[in-house]
Structures are given as structure tokens and as C-alpha cells.
A and B are shown apart, each in its own frame.
Chain A
Amino acid sequence: QVQLVESGGGVVQPGRSLRLSCAASGFTFNNYGMHWVRQAPGKGLEWVTVISYDASNKYYADSVKGRFTISRDNSKNTLYLQMNSLRAEDTAVYYCAKQYDDLNYFDYWGQGTLVTVSS
């Protein structure tokens, strides 16, 4: 069965960096685009970024462009999110999500990892 397991969250000071990982299993990872979606405490969902199956295309929400970088290692079935220059407003649960076929919907999600940006 499909499993997505995020890790790397924690408490970090404003301006610092953090890298999240998402280990995928149960499907052919290198066939699918992958996304990061976040949810601030008590708030709604916000799409963050997407990477194509072969890493040739990457897109970012305006709120993170220039600060966050998505990447993947298809040999390790792992997705990453490098987050630099973190701000308080980046505090959220970060979910990795599998793209549904070639459509930009999300058919499988991880359990999420909490990132708290605070001094």
C-alpha cells in the first residue's frame, strides 16, 4: 500500500533553515509528481510546491518562492523540502502528497510534520 512518511520538522528560530524529507513506498515513485502542502495551526490548506516525476519542472507558491527548494532522489524514493529564511508565518504542519496520475490533485498524503518558527 502507498505510504508517505515525513520527517525533519521541529522548532527553529526565524531566519534559520530546515530540511524536510518524505520517504515514499508502495508505488513507483519515479512515475509521479510530488507536492508539499502545509496547514497552519487551526487554518486551512495551502499548496506550497510541486516537482515533476523526473525533477525537470518545479513550481512554488509566491509565499515561499526564493526561500524554499523542492527536490527528489528517485534512487532513494525520497522527496525533500529545503526551507531557508524561515518566518513565523511558515509555522505549519507540512504534508507531502502524491500527485493523482498526471493531474494536479493529491490522492495520497503523509501524516505531516510540524514546523514551528519561533524565537
Chain B
Amino acid sequence: EIVLTQSPATLSLSPGERATLSCRASQSVSSYLAWYQQKPGQAPRLLIYDASNRATGIPARFSGSGSGTDFTLTISSLEAEDFAVYYCQHRNNWLSFGGGTKVEIK
């Protein structure tokens, strides 16, 4: 079973700052990794798939990178609506999610 570890657990930043979120896999998942955003009381929303491809309608300030075991979600300049919890998810042979990173307002 592949375990995804997200860090940090919480990221405290101000609007306009750059956010860098990490997702590390216990073994290689190639590029088969997605990122989701979840706001309180809402379902998750797909942001990035296959490590670096933005889903339909996702703003360009969201970008993904990485392959193998180390992946990064970058939000280039935080806007008010970006403060949320972010999850990574792999699809290499099986499916699982990371534990999440909360991006909160500093």
C-alpha cells in the first residue's frame, strides 16, 4: 500500500503570498498524482491531475510539479478564496489520499 504524506499540516500565509505544499509517496507513483481543494462544508474540487495538468476552469496561479515520490502544489499568489484544505491523491495501482494541508490566513 502506498502512503502519501503531506507537509506541512498547516500553512499560515497572507493573501498575495506564495504557497508551496508538499506530498511525498512511500514508493513511486510515477506522475499519477492529483491535487484537490476542499472548503468547509463543501465537496473537494479537482485542481491538478497527473502531477502537472490543471483541471478545467482552474486558475493559472495553481501549478503542480514532481514525479516519482515527491510532488509540489504551488499557489503563486494567494487569493482570499484559496484558504482551504488541500489533498493529494495517487492512482498508481490503487487509490489513496494524503492527510491534507490546511492553508490558513496569517
Contacts and interface: CB of A to CB of B under 8 A. Distances in A.
Interface of A: 44-47, 50, 95, 100, 103-107, 109-112
Interface residues of B, number: 20
28 contacts: A44-B97, A44-B98, A44-B99, A44-B100, A45-B87, A45-B89, A45-B100, A50-B95, A95-B43, A95-B44, A100-B49, A100-B55, A103-B49, A103-B50, A104-B91, A104-B95, A105-B34, A105-B89, A105-B91, A106-B36, A106-B44, A106-B46, A106-B89, A107-B55, A109-B44, A109-B45, A110-B43, A112-B43
Contacts of A45: 36, 38, 44, 87, 89, 97, 100
A59 to B, nearest CB: 8
B96 interface: yes
Interface string B84-97: 00010101000111
Contact of B95 (A47, A95, A112): A47
Contacts of B56: 107
Contacts of A106: 36, 44, 46, 89
Interface of B: 34, 36, 38, 43-46, 49-50, 55-56, 87, 89, 91, 95-100
Give the interface centre of B43, B50, B95, B99 by most chain A CB atoms within 10 Å.
Answer: B43
Nearest to A110: B43
Contacts of B99: 44
Contacts of B44: 45, 95, 106, 109
State the main secondary structure of chain A at its contact with B: strand
